[in-house]
Structure 1
Amino acid sequence: MADSDGEYVEDMSDDELVGSRGAAAVDSNYGTRSKGGRGGKEKGDAKKGKGGGGRKAAWEDIQRSWEDVVEAADGSLISGASLEAEKRRRLLRDTTPVQRGIIRHLMLVLDMSFSMAEKDLLPNRYRLTLDYAIDFVREYFEQNPISQLGVVGMRDGIAVRISDMSGNPTEHIEKLEGWREKEEPQGNPSLQNALEMCRGALFHTPTHGTREVLIVHGSRFSSDPGEIDDTIASLISDRIRVSVIGLSAQVALCAEICSRTNGGETDKYTVALHEQNFRDLLLAATTPPITHASEQKSASLIMMGFPSRTVASADHISLCACHHRPTREGYACARCNTKVCRLPSECPVCGLTLVLSTHLARSYHHLFPLRTWVEVSWADAVKSVACFACQNPFPAVPKGAIKPKEKSKANSSASAVPETKGLKGVSESGRYACPACGQHFCIECDVYSHEILHNCPGCQSDTRGQGGVEAANGTAMDIDS
């Protein structure tokens, strides 16, 4: 047993192994290294050629083939489709057009207590949360360019303001990176103090926008100075919604806060299972919430300005009114001609909201999301040989995959629009069809069209005079108009 315990010595050459165990270890006939008398020389020569690096253990080359297997709708197993299944899982969601608030005011609350030093999420909860928070800020302003965001931390039993409410993602990212590099988690969290600070920041926001609080809570308790039920009642009266993402066990207090501030909805409190699930839950909050029936009001006009871009010469550098920094380029307010350096923003002088037309267009896609594309069977896969968007070739139809009845049915309905019922996830043919135009696309174009482009390339390329195809939101649309 003692001989087998010393078989694997990391970063030790064969000469050192012989010197430590004696020549008998090389000449023995029962150890695993005994048959490597010649192998030891070959390994030593190979090591010299590689600069003397250590050998790799056998368990480091294990291929987990079961992780690449997913279950199809009929119960069969499909190998090598886990990545495609994960992409489709993110896209298979309800795309019914509903009323949402596209002007959002969100406070992001991060737990920075000693519980965030746990390493169940690598490298630890604290650093992973700050890394994902930076990604969240970028995605939030990409999906909601005319919205506002603020960041608050919980540590030492108090609430710490990391960044003020603003529409500039660069400021938030700089503050988060500073906390990630210089600070460490410590103390106890306090949900009441964090919620009171968020309520003070959201109390004066306009009524036409949403008021939201997103909390990343890694502890199983809260150190509060008073009665938190009074804080919850104040949040309800101020129409502030609270969502919580837990990193440990479920906490009854967090579930009660989310349920009472969201009109009884129970899906606003979730617990992350692993790193990828944590990221998905966090980025899912970039979609604006659905407007409740009690919150729906008559349409009101919001005054906005579309400023013009100005570029000064090198001899005429001026200060921007938003940051008081010398700049050459900027945007002139449409009302008072005040110079600001970034858009969207609010004019510091007259208070007018300054945006570009592209900002409104990017916010509009939440109201009419692109419909989910359907899977294409092998019987319908004969219609296409390459992706309509990127022109990458599709997998060839295997022999025997199409039955005679299905083949005749496919030929008779060559121009039919695919059915949208029974979405099952991964397509066996690697093709996905738009329900409106019927064109076939690959999984990469499917993800790009739904998450970034928010338009169907097939529908947008239709040049018929009537517009001929149904729009992505399910209504007839004249493309030429």
Structure 2
Amino acid sequence: MQLETVPVDDIAEEVDAAAQDREQLRQARALEARWRWESLLEDAPPAQLEEKPASIAPPAEQLREASQGVQARRGVIRFLYLVVDLAEAALRERRWELLVQQSSQFAERFVTENPLSELGLLALRDASCEALAPLGTAFTAAKLNAIAKEAKGRCCAVAALQRALQGLQDVPSYGVREVLILLASVATCNLQELAMEDLLPTLRLKNIRVSVVSLSPEIFVLKNLCVETGGRFDVALNKAHFEELLLRHLVAPKIDGKDVAPQMVRMGFPRQLEAEARKPEACCCHCQVQNSLYICPQCNGRSCGLPSRCKICDLPLVSASVLARAFRSVVPLAPFASVAMGLASRCKACHRFMDSLGARCGTCQQVFCQTCDSFIHQVLRQCPGCLERTPLDDQRNKSCLHCTRQGSV
């Protein structure tokens, strides 16, 4: 007896369903598909489905809310594997273009806003996982774009978790271990010798947090894995919503004493060598002649950029500006209060006349325009008026983040 196979798309669209079911499906599609997948599966009348979900706050708003209340502990040093689904399902509606574009932008912003963290890149296709970039501060967007054009096969999330587990099990204990999967498939297959449930105890033991941002409906086994490991499973409704969900993962996650134990981290502050003061030399990381090199204070190895790890002694190399930027990303600047301004008022930062609304800093009482207010909180992350009032010597005495002394800590 030969069984007739029905395509998955036909089942999802209910082509062979009753007339009443098809009418309910038309009503759900008429509401612009602006709800989460689980809300479409509820047995509720169409009138109750008209309620829209609450707007999702960007990471900047989340940091402002956290700064107004009790400060939560967050992981400053993160080790994150970014997994991009390039299976055959990514070719549907050219989703691979969105995945490649958003993953490239996310990687660049992640390294910028988390300078002490390291990022790795994995690609899922043909029921296997391919490592495109190891954990580090470099990102190969060109290689991801080239391999994305050959998207094929099925998605195997177990292979990605197994590869990420191998790379994260040897990272230092003071770092936060994370896996972020950008999913486009409606299903995932398991390996013959390993299943999803077999990896859950190991992920818990190693304190690896798994999160998924999906362009397709929820997959129960992956959502259960995210919940058990302390991550989150989000379903994107459109392109803008997908970008908002990715921005949430730029913020350092909340941690407790069970996940990461606080301890001293040994770092090196290298000395920079300019091209005019030396002969042409090659760096240890790429073996190429560079215009600017940094000397490791422990082994005198040459590195071409900061922050990085010395390829000889594996010492983290940072600078005072990198530490200050990492600190500001965890402890954000408090929001300014909106005030009504006159036509003769000037902005403290750009010195331009303001229209009718400005923002006043609660510490230095300086007033800024809306454009400078957005730039200060999203890019600069420190008030220019407060920096102008505080002498440089006082800043150095208050915090070691501004220390310019060379050596290792």
Shorter-chain TM-score range = 0.7 to 0.9
4+ long deviations beyond 4 Å: 86-90, 312-315
Q: What stretches of structure 2 of length at least 5 have no aligned partner?
A: 1-54, 404-409
Residue 280 of structure 2 is matched in structure 1 by 317
Residue 352 of structure 1 is matched in structure 2 by 315
Once the two structures are TM-superposed, the CA of residue 315 in structure 1 deviates from its matched residue by 9.2
Cα gap change, 1:87 to 1:215, in 2 (>3 Å): closer
Where does 1:210-229 land on structure 2 (aligned, <5 Å)? 210-225=176-191, 226-229=194-197
Q: Secondary structure at the match of 1:213?
A: strand
Where does 1:262-411 land on structure 2 (aligned, <5 Å)? 262=230, 268-297=232-261, 299-311=262-274, 316-376=279-339, 380-382=340-342, 385-396=345-356
Q: Which whole-Å deviations, capped at 9, do the CAs of 1:103-136 have from their partners, x for residues lacking one? A: 11110000001111122xxxx2101111111111
Q: Which whole-Å deviations, capped at 9, do the CAs of 1:280-307 have from their partners, x for residues lacking one? A: 221331221111242353x422211111
Instruction: Using the aligned pairs only, state the percent identity.
Output: 29
Q: Secondary structure at the match of 1:95?
A: helix
Q: Contact 1:95 / 1:371 at 8 angstroms: preserved in 2?
A: no
Where does 1:172-187 land on structure 2 (aligned, <5 Å)? 172-180=140-148, 183-187=149-153
Cα gap change, 1:384 to 1:191, in 2 (>3 Å): farther
Q: Contact 1:384 / 1:440 at 8 angstroms: preserved in 2?
A: no
Residue 95 of structure 1 is matched in structure 2 by 66
Query: For residue 209 of structure 2, what is the amino acid of its counterpart?
Result: R
Q: Secondary structure at the match of 2:312?
A: coil
What is the TM-score when the length of structure 2 is the normalising length? Answer: 0.74
Q: Contact 1:109 / 1:216 at 8 angstroms: preserved in 2?
A: yes
Query: For residue 450 of structure 1, what is the amino acid of its counterpart?
Result: H
1:460 is the counterpart of 2:380: no
Larger displacement relative to structure 2 (227-236 or 249-258): 249-258
Cα gap change, 1:351 to 1:88, in 2 (>3 Å): closer
Q: CA RMSD in A?
A: 2.9
Q: What stretches of structure 1 of length at least 5 have no aligned partner?
A: 1-85, 397-429
Where does 1:183-198 land on structure 2 (aligned, <5 Å)? 183-198=149-164
What is the TM-score when the length of structure 1 is the normalising length? Answer: 0.64
Where does 1:190-269 land on structure 2 (aligned, <5 Å)? 190-225=156-191, 226-262=194-230, 268-269=232-233
Once the two structures are TM-superposed, the CA of residue 317 in structure 1 deviates from its matched residue by 2.9
Once the two structures are TM-superposed, the CA of residue 384 in structure 1 deviates from its matched residue by 7.2
Q: Secondary structure at the match of 1:431?
A: strand
Q: Secondary structure at the match of 2:251?
A: coil
Residue 79 of structure 2 is matched in structure 1 by 105
Q: Which whole-Å deviations, capped at 9, do the CAs of 1:336-394 have from their partners, x for residues lacking one? A: 11112222222122221111111111111133211123333xxx445973433223333
Q: Contact 2:85 / 2:183 at 8 angstroms: preserved in 1?
A: yes
Q: Secondary structure at the match of 2:223?
A: helix
Q: Contact 1:95 / 1:370 at 8 angstroms: preserved in 2?
A: no
Query: For residue 117 of structure 1, what is the amino acid of its counterpart?
Result: L
Residue 151 of structure 1 is matched in structure 2 by 121
Once the two structures are TM-superposed, the CA of residue 313 in structure 1 deviates from its matched residue by 6.2
Aligned partners of 2:56 and 2:275: how far apart in 1?
Answer: 46
Query: For residue 377 of structure 2, what is the amino acid of its counterpart?
Result: H
Number of aligned positions between the proteins: 335
Aligned partners of 1:313 and 1:442: how far apart in 2?
Answer: 43
Aligned partners of 2:257 and 2:79: how far apart in 1?
Answer: 20
Q: Contact 1:163 / 1:175 at 8 angstroms: preserved in 2?
A: no
1:448 is the counterpart of 2:408: no
Q: Give the greater-gyration-radius structure (CA).
A: 1
Aligned partners of 2:236 and 2:330: how far apart in 1?
Answer: 28
